[in-house]
Structure 1
Amino acid sequence: MPLTIAPASTDHLDAWAELRADLWPGETVAEHRAEAAGMLEGEERAFVAIADGRVVGFAEAALRHDYVNGCDTSPVVFLEGVYVRPAARRGGVAQALTEAVAAWGRAEGCSEFASDAEIDNVDSHAFHLGAGFEETERVVYFRKAL
C-alpha cells in the first residue's frame, strides 16, 4: 500500500475527527473535529497517513517546555496520540507517523522524544518499544478532595 505522511490540514478534519473518536471515545466526532480544528491554529502539530486516497491514521504532538517524566532536556517533543485504522495496522503506518513527529521535533531543536501510555495498555507499550522508545518510569497519580 503506497503511503503518504502529511501535515494535517482542514482537508483532513472529518476523517481525522472520526479516527480521534475511535481512539478517544469519550467525546463526540463533532467535539473531536472542533478540537482538531483548534490544533491547526495552535502550536501543536498533527500528521495524517494517507493510503489509497483515504486517511488511515494520525499522530498528534506538542512541544512540552515543562518537566517531562524521564527526560533531561527542554523542550521535549511529546507524542500526544497516535492511531491507525485496524485494517491498516502492521504495515508501518504508526512508525511512519512517529518518524514524522520526530523530524518535526528535531527541526524545533528537541533532542528527546517522549510519550506515555496507560499502565495497563500493553498494546501501546509494545508499540512504543517497537518504535524505539524506552520505558523510563511508571507512575500512579493520586488525589484527595479538600
Structure 2
Amino acid sequence: MKLVQCTSTGQDGWLGLRQALWPEGVPAEHIAEMQFFLDHPGRFFQLVAYEGDNQPAGFVEAALRGDYVNGTDSSLVAFLEGLYVAPGYRRMGIGTLLIAAVIAWAKACHCTELASDALLDNEGSQAMHRALGFTETERVVFFRKLIP
C-alpha cells in the first residue's frame, strides 16, 4: 500500500474516486474543488491510496476548520471532508491507514480533535466511523425557510 499526497488535479485516480463517493457532482465541479484544495495547502490535506500495481484504492480529504464544529471542544479542528475506499479494496485496512495519515497531519497542525459527519440514513458511513474509532457526539436535522 502506498499513500501519495495529491499535488495536481490530474493525480491518477483522485477524480474517479471522488466521483464514486459523490456521484452527483459533475467532473468540472470536482476539478474546481480539487484545485481550490491544492491552492490552499495550509488548510487542506488530500491523499490517494494505491494498491499493488498502482491501482487507486481509496482517498481521503481533510480540512482545518476554525469555525464551530458540532460536537467538538476546540476551535481549530481537523475535519474529515471525505473518505472513500473502492469496493474491491474494503476491509483491508486502507481506511485505517488514510485516517492515520490525517491524524498525523492534524497533530502537525496542532489540532487535538478530528471531526466528521454522516447523513442520518447513511448507516454504512456511521459504521465505518465507529470502526475507525470515531465517537458519535450528536444528531442534527437542519431546517431552512425561504424569505420571500
Mark yes or no: TM-score above 0.5. yes
Q: Deviation of residue 48 (structure 1)?
A: 1.1
Higher helix share: 1
Contiguous gaps of at least 5 residues in structure 1: none
| Residue pair 2:13, 2:48 contacting (<8 A) in 1 also | no
| Residue pair 1:13, 1:33 contacting (<8 A) in 2 also | no
> Pairwise mapping of residues 121-140 of structure 1 onto structure 2 (< 5 A)?
121-140=122-141
| Residue pair 2:9, 2:35 contacting (<8 A) in 1 also | no
What's the counterpart of residue 45 of structure 2? Answer: 45
Q: Deviation of residue 113 (structure 1)?
A: 0.6
Amino acid at match of 1:69: N
SS at match of 1:10: coil
Q: Distance in 1 between matches of 2:68 and 2:9?
A: 34
Q: Does 1:96 align with 2:108?
A: no
Q: Deviation of residue 14 (structure 1)?
A: 4.6
How does the TM-score come out when normalised to structure 2? 0.92
Q: Deviations over 1:30-49 (max 9, x none)?
A: 43123213211112110111
Contiguous gaps of at least 5 residues in structure 2: none
What's the counterpart of residue 145 of structure 2? Answer: 144
Q: Distance in 2 between matches of 1:64 and 1:142?
A: 22
Q: Distance in 1 between matches of 2:2 and 2:74?
A: 31
Q: Deviation of residue 109 (structure 1)?
A: 0.2
Farther off after superposition, 80-89 or 29-38: 29-38
Runs of 4+ aligned structure 1 residues displaced above 4 Å come to: none
> Pairwise mapping of residues 1-146 of structure 1 onto structure 2 (< 5 A)?
3-10=1-8, 13-42=11-40, 43-52=43-52, 53-146=54-147
| Residue pair 2:9, 2:15 contacting (<8 A) in 1 also | no
What is the RMSD of the two structures over their aligned residues, measured on CA atoms?
A: 1.3
Q: Distance in 1 between matches of 2:12 and 2:105?
A: 24
Percent of residue pairs identical: 47
* Pairs aligned (count): 144
Amino acid at match of 2:29: E
Q: Distance in 1 between matches of 2:13 and 2:82?
A: 15
SS at match of 1:46: strand
How does the TM-score come out when normalised to structure 1? 0.93
Q: Distance in 2 between matches of 1:104 and 1:116?
A: 19
SS at match of 2:13: helix
